[in-house]
Amino acid sequence: MLKISDLHVAYGNVRALRGIDLEVNAGEIVAILGPNGAGKSTLIKTIIGVLSSQRGAIEFEGRAIDALPTAQRIRLGIGTIPEGRQLFPDMSVRENLILGAYAQLGLLVPASLDESLDRVFSVFPRLRERARQLAGSLSGGEAQMVAVGRALMSRPKLLLGDEPSLGLAPILVRELLVTISRLRDAGITVLLADQNALSALRMADRAYVMNTGRIVASGPGAVLAGDQRLLQAYLGSGVDKA
Amino acid sequence: MDATALAQTAVSGLANGALYAFVGLAFGLVSRSTGLINFAQGDLTMLGAMLAAAMSDAGAPLLIAVPLAAVGCAAIGGGFYFFAIRPSTRATMSQLIIITVGLSILIRGAVTSLWGTDPKQVPPFTQGAPIAFGGVSVLPQQLWLIGILALVAIATAWFFRRTTLGLALRASAANPVGASFVGIDPRLLGLFAFAAAGFLGGLAGAVWSPIAYAQVDIGIGIGIKGFTGAILGGLYTAFGPLIGGVLLGLFEAFTAGYVSSHYEDALIFALLILVLLLRPRGLLGGSAGATNDQKPEEILSASARPTTFRRRDIIGIVTGIVALGIIGAVLPAVWVSTAIFTGMEAMIVIGLVLLTGFSGQLSLGQPAFMMIGGYASAYLTVRSGWPPILALLVGIALSASVALIMGRIIFRLHGFYLSMASLGLLMIALTFAREWSGITGGPSGFVGIESFSLLGVRLASDTAVYYTVAAFAVISLLFGMNIARSRIGRALLAMRSSESAARACGVEVVGLKMRIFAFSAATASVSGSLYGHYLSIVNPSPFGLDATIQQLTALTVGGFLSLWGAFAGSLLTVALPQVIGWISGSAESQLIAGVEYILFGVLLIGIVMAQSSPMLYRLRRRLGRRGAASVVAASERAP
Amino acid sequence: MVKVCTSLVAATLVLGAGSALAQDAAEFKVGYVASITGVIAPITRYYMDGLDAGVKMVNDSGGIGGLPVRVIKCDSQSNEAQAVLCTKRLIEQDDANMLLGVGGTAPTVAIEPTVQAAGIPLFAIAAGRVAYAPLKKWVFKAIIGNDDQVPTVVKFLKRKGWVKVALIRDNTAFGNDSAKSIKEEAARNGVEILSDEVYTPTDTDMTAQLTRIRGLHPQAVINYAVGIGVGGLIAKEMIQLGMDQPSFVGMNQQIDGYAKNAGAAATAHTYFVAAKVASAADLTKDDPLYGPIATFTRFFRQAHPDQIANSNTPTAVDAILIAQAAGKSIGKKVLDRQALREAIEHVTDVAGLQGFWTFTPEQHWCSLEAGAQIVTYDGKNWLPAK
């Protein structure tokens, strides 16, 4: 579904991605792991179009999307849970969710959006009660639900997640990962960049390990999960035992 | 208390407030979507009035003239965004604001050329006598204004809640990063915001002007009031500009009617400062507010300067002094005078480089310190017979003290709020300069100031004044460089990127800001003193908003972090009008004078756009300019 | 660095261009430091229009010292610093033989050190007395100033028995100077000024101040504004508030455009201070100023057929009329600034458009009260008031 070839991305003089080759097939959960500064976030941002690449190609469902603006990539079926969630704090939960479908909306907000909202509420029932509440006043876990829900509003085929578990209590992290695998079961492909290596690895079909802008290892999730030396070398002592 | 008079004052205040609210809404729209202050907003309002008047004079019915005028202003607003703002992707906030200053000048030049400076009348929408009820009289047009404003307010509210674009604008203001992930294109928003603000401004002008009149220079005052009202109510809130504008109108009317029309200005700005200190985000400003109002201070330009004194600094200084000496000897007379004014301006800009460039405090109040210096020199030399150098030093002491006191009050604020507070202090100072006529000579000024003299030697000729000003300018430069190249300079730069980080590293943030403020006050004071000695008169008019704009333009053009650039920027703002006038020959008419203004505006926009163009940025990077500033810049730019 | 170099190169090129334009010596150059843009611009426009016609009139009768007159203007942008730069340019670069300026009192004072240092006669067209008094060697009054207008108003008030008067004026130097003169003259003539209200010229509404004045029940209101926009607005607001007292406005408001701004107020009970030029059609042949005013009106109609001369039209003209009179005694020596100055300061009873001019070496000003009058407007013409 997603194919990345020889991707190079730089901030000014700093080269963040130095030739990334990566594939995600339909129906998979793929994890990207790596220490801080490895380039995971950069990769996610480049796929969705918030950053542009200097060299290389990104293909989605066989189509080159490098030149397309973010809105169009969303319309093609890519949704994102950004790093740090990036909600709109003084807008209501409902409005935050509606904005998830921004790329597909016309001039006015249509009534048919209620359907999509209902679907999100069925995945996250707690949000239905909080619909009119300001997003800035939510707890961490609820905010995370809004972030995921917002990404779902555009009916994505591919869901990108940039450190979605950051800042969440362990029990919430588990809930999140359960939700993600349920989404995969419902037919959404997932590409997840996360520091919570072990849990992500156990859930993932395949995984890539990044370091300083390059991919240093890849393989089935279970295999990598068992490779202690690899985990120690590239993910350091921060590897969780969850 | 006479009830009718009370009611009448209230009605007038309300009607005036409606105008401010209207203009404030336009400011709010632009600020909420782009984070910018559109300095030309008031002039767009004026343009709407002039367009409506011109079309109506040509015979068009108001039903066509008014909407067309609003649409015309929308086109200009949107077009300006498209051609000048959108391409300037690497511009800092202040550079973009100076670009809007260029637009303001351009609009006024165009209006002067097309219609001259005479006031124009727009016929009211409905003919008829003022409506009187119970001794209070309202003009039908005032009711129209209030009515249309109410409609606009409702439409705006609906727009922000129910349309995709409205939601996108709010989202972009709330969290631009999040907005980009959802596919919102900030440039489209910017275009819409500027066009809409143009429309609102033009409409406000066309609807309001039948009450008063339309004339080329009414824009700035209306803009200031509208903006003040918006800040009062909360610039980034939906209804803040509305409420704030109306409250401002009422406050203004009651102050003029019941307290004192002489101190009206001072009281309005005192109110503003009070509100800013107590409710920094305005009366309606929320708690978990938008992140816009705490935008990182200035994305720094890439032309960094090293932060230690280097050999090339010494070479530069020596070369500079020699060059100044030679210039003084060979320049023809009229250019010596230009050099004198340039030097006086440069002294102020040097202070601004440290205050605004290094410390990130955008102060609009420097002319107040010029006044303190000017009046101190005037009073002490003329009334008390003191030697000018002593009077100058007293001026410095006074200015620095005032800076320290005022700084303690207003430096709790940040960003635009700090700037508005400093502007408020300037307005208050201007009011006192006008009203304390015993000391200052009032609006007519303090006359009879003799030339500067040192140790009994009168420095009266232009050449002598030039060397005096050059000497003080070099001294200011040396002081400035000393600060910039030292530990203090590095601390300032650190503080600029992140105050909390700097504080954590042990930088005494507040004390530092105070000292830099005092320094900038001192250099401004010297400039003011020398100004008084050169022109033989000190009066409030050269020290108003125009002066501040000129200083900021010089700062921006010369480069925020560049002490040397202070001279280049000052030369441009002082000499350019003369150069343009020189090229066009004897300004025969207002048509030509207007064209000169247009040229100035275009040049200003062009220069700032060129400075911030991506091409130039890449060129500079390739030349390998490094230093603290570029590191800071990189960290601020990283998405 | 690049910026400084570019500026210097530009400056040098321009200088070169400037000096290449050699000046023709066989003419008399008048340098006009004019506020063509900025706050003083609206009224400068009328000064310039009048000056056009005035120059033609003077050239038609022999010019100054037998030499044709040419006016060179520089826009001082109503700004003191630019006024100084303009002055220096007109003196150094354009080789002016005499100067005219500036429209605002403060810029006029600001250029005086330059004028003094260069030794060139300056005709001050600023209404504030401080522009030309106390005596300055090279500066001469050339305008109906505050000290001419105000006694005219106050004496009229006294004559009509309107001795309880309110004042509303702007907070600029103009308003301030006028207020000071008015209060002094009123005190001298037994007229009581009940209140002194101010506003900023860019204010959009003065009803608050007017409501306050209304409560004091004055017999007349003096409305001194620096621009006809604001002046007209105040007049309209007075009507809106039901104030029907007579109001007095300054000479700078005596313009046709005022009527457009003030609407019905202009004809209803407004008295204007005016120069005799304003009611030129009503001047009789035995009026001592008839001659010059009639001639001027003829030239003005040719130059500006769509305009009616108002009190501000002749303001810049008397300067060259005085210079012409001075030049009669010294001929081509007018090109010698010192000689010109001495000739000017000995003119006696020169008939200008604003009155009769007499200077002495001790006094470079004179009273023009005789040239000021009170007029009213009937919708078409300006008529001397009864």
Per-residue model confidence as pLDDT tens digits over C320-364? 999 999 999 898 899 999 999 999 999 999 999 999 999 999 999
Strand, helix or coil for residue B201? helix
Q: Say whether A74 and B180 touch across the interface (CB within 8 A).
A: no
Pairing state of beta strands A206-211 and A214-220? antiparallel
How far is C282 from C181, CA to CA, in rounded Å? 30
pLDDT tens digit sequence for A103-148 = 988 888 887 888 889 989 988 888 899 889 888 889 888 899 999 9
**What parts of chain B have a pLDDT lower than 50?**
287-306, 624-639
> How far, in Å, are A30, A34, A210 from residue A231 at the CA level?
17, 9, 11
By CA distance, what is B634's nearest residue in A?
A: A12
B596 with B376: CB under 8 angstroms? no
Q: What is the CATH number of domain B3-121+140-285?
A: 1.10.3470
Do residues C117 and C245 share a domain?
A: no
Q: Which comes out higher in pLDDT, residue A229 or B246?
A: B246
Any chain A CB within 8 A of the CB of B63? no
Q: Say whether B558 and C3 touch across the interface (CB within 8 A).
A: yes
How far is A196 from B424, CA to CA, in rounded Å? 52
Do residues C30 and C96 share a domain?
A: yes
Closest CA to B557 of B577, B575, B571: B571
What tokens does B186 get? Answer: 């900030």
Quick one: which H or E segment has residue C274? strand C270-275
Do residues C260 and C134 share a domain?
A: no
Any chain A CB within 8 A of the CB of B304? no
Do residues C98 and C137 share a domain?
A: yes
Q: H helices within C204-289, ranges in order?
A: 207-216, 228-240, 256-262, 264-268
How far is B25 from B363, CA to CA, in rounded Å? 24
A210 with A38: CB under 8 angstroms? yes
Closest CB from C18, C173, C202 relative to B443: C173
Any chain A CB within 8 A of the CB of B624? no
List the beta bridge partners of residue B441: none
Please determine, for residue A12, whether its predicted confidence score (pLDDT) is greater than 60.
yes
Any chain A CB within 8 A of the CB of B174? yes
Do residues C70 and C165 share a domain?
A: no
> Distance between the two ends of chain C, CA-based, in angstroms?
69
A152 with A119: CB under 8 angstroms? yes
Closest CB from B164, B168, B289 relative to A90: B289
Indicate the average pLDDT of chain A: 86
- Domain assignments of chain A as residue spans, ordered by start: 1-71+194-242
List the beta bridge partners of residue B447: B537
Q: Say whether B177 and A86 touch across the interface (CB within 8 A).
A: yes
Note whether residue C122 is domain-resident. yes
Note whether residue C7 is domain-resident. no
Do residues C244 and C379 share a domain?
A: yes
Strand, helix or coil for residue C367? coil
| pLDDT average, residue stretch C369-383 | 86
Burial class (CB in 10 A: 0-12, 13-18, 19+), B315: exposed
> How far, in Å, are A100, A147, B169, C8 from residue A95 at the CA level?
9, 12, 12, 57
Chains A, B: CB pairs < 8 Å: 95
pLDDT tens digit sequence for A161-203 = 998 888 788 888 888 888 888 888 889 999 999 876 677 777 7
Any chain B CB within 8 A of the CB of A74? yes
Please determine, for residue C20, whether its predicted confidence score (pLDDT) is greater than 70.
no
Do residues C87 and C178 share a domain?
A: no
Residue B295 DSSP class: P
Q: Which residues contact C12 (CB under 8 A, 6 or more apart)?
A: none
Cα-trace Rg, chain A: 17
Number of structural domains in chain C: 2
Q: Which residue has the tokens 């129209």?
A: B144
Quick one: which H or E segment has residue A190? strand A189-193
Other beta carbons within 10 Å of C2 = 7
Do residues C122 and C170 share a domain?
A: no
Question: Which chains sit next to B, with 3 or more Cβ pairs under 8 A?
Answer: A, C
* The Cα angle at residue A149 between residues A95 and A33, in degrees rounded to 5: 130
* φ, ψ dihedrals at B44, nearest 5°: -65, -35
C179 with C127: CB under 8 angstroms? no
Domain extent for C246: 147-278+372-384
Quick one: which H or E segment has residue B421? helix B415-435
Q: What is the DSSP string of B441-464?
A: -GGG-EE-PPPPEETTEE--SHHH
Do residues C165 and C273 share a domain?
A: yes
| pLDDT for position A47 | 93
Q: Which residue has the tokens 């010494």?
A: B314
Closest CA to B10 of B126, B135, B125: B135
Residue A222 DSSP class: H
Q: Say whether C42 and B119 touch across the interface (CB within 8 A).
A: yes
Do residues C261 and C325 share a domain?
A: no
Closest CB from C17, C36, C240 relative to B139: C240
Closest CB from B165, B178, B183 relative to A74: B183
How far is A55 from A57, CA to CA, in rounded Å? 7
Note whether residue C299 is domain-resident. no
Chain centre distance of CA B562: 20
How far is C53 from C298, CA to CA, in rounded Å? 9
Q: Say whether B174 and A102 touch across the interface (CB within 8 A).
A: no
List the beta bridge partners of residue A2: A24, A60
Do residues C70 and C129 share a domain?
A: yes
Q: Which residues contact A39 (CB under 8 A, 6 or more apart)?
A: A9, A16, A17, A20, A210, A212, A213
Any chain A CB within 8 A of the CB of B638? yes
Q: H helices within B61-175, ranges in order?
A: 62-80, 93-115, 140-162, 164-174
What tokens does C111 get? Answer: 């250029």
**Taking each helix axis from N to C terminus, what angle separates A113-123 and A140-152, rounded to the nearest 10 degrees?**
140
CATH of the domain at C246: 3.40.50.2300
Question: How many residues are present in chain C?
Answer: 386
Any chain B CB within 8 A of the CB of A37? no
Buried-state track C25-50, b at ≥16 Cβ within 10 A, e below 16: eebbbbbbbbbbbbbbbbbbbbbbbb
Task: Report the side by side order of strands in the sheet with C28-34.
Answer: C69-75, C28-34, C98-102, C122-124, C139-141
Any chain B CB within 8 A of the CB of A83? no
Do residues C264 and C355 share a domain?
A: no
Strand, helix or coil for residue A160? strand
Q: Which residues contact B444 (CB under 8 A, 6 or more apart)?
A: B539, C105, C106, C128, C130, C173, C176, C177
List, in sequence order, every beta strand (DSSP E) within C134-269.
Answer: 139-141, 164-170, 192-199, 220-224, 247-249
Residue to substitute from C5, C35, C130, C171, interface B, most B β-carbons within 10 A: C171
Percent of chain A at pLDDT > 70 equals 95
Closest CB from B12, B335, B587 relative to C11: B335
Note whether residue C289 is domain-resident. no
Chains A and C touch (3+ CB pairs under 8 A): no
Instruction: Please check whether the two domains, B3-121+140-285 and B313-583, share a CATH topology.
Output: yes
Any chain A CB within 8 A of the CB of B618? no
Confidence of residue A159 (pLDDT cuts 50, 70, 90): very high
State ipTM.
0.92
A90 with A136: CB under 8 angstroms? yes
Q: What is the CATH number of domain A1-71+194-242?
A: 3.40.50.300
Closest CA to C86 of B528, B586, B331, B600: B586
CATH architecture classification, B313-583: Orthogonal Bundle (1.10)
Question: How many residues are present in chain B?
Answer: 639
How far is B109 from B47, CA to CA, in rounded Å? 11
Pairing state of beta strands C372-377 and C382-384? antiparallel
| pLDDT for position B638 | 32
DSSP3 helix / strand / coil % (chain B, rounded to 5): 75, 5, 25
How far is A191 from A206, CA to CA, in rounded Å? 10
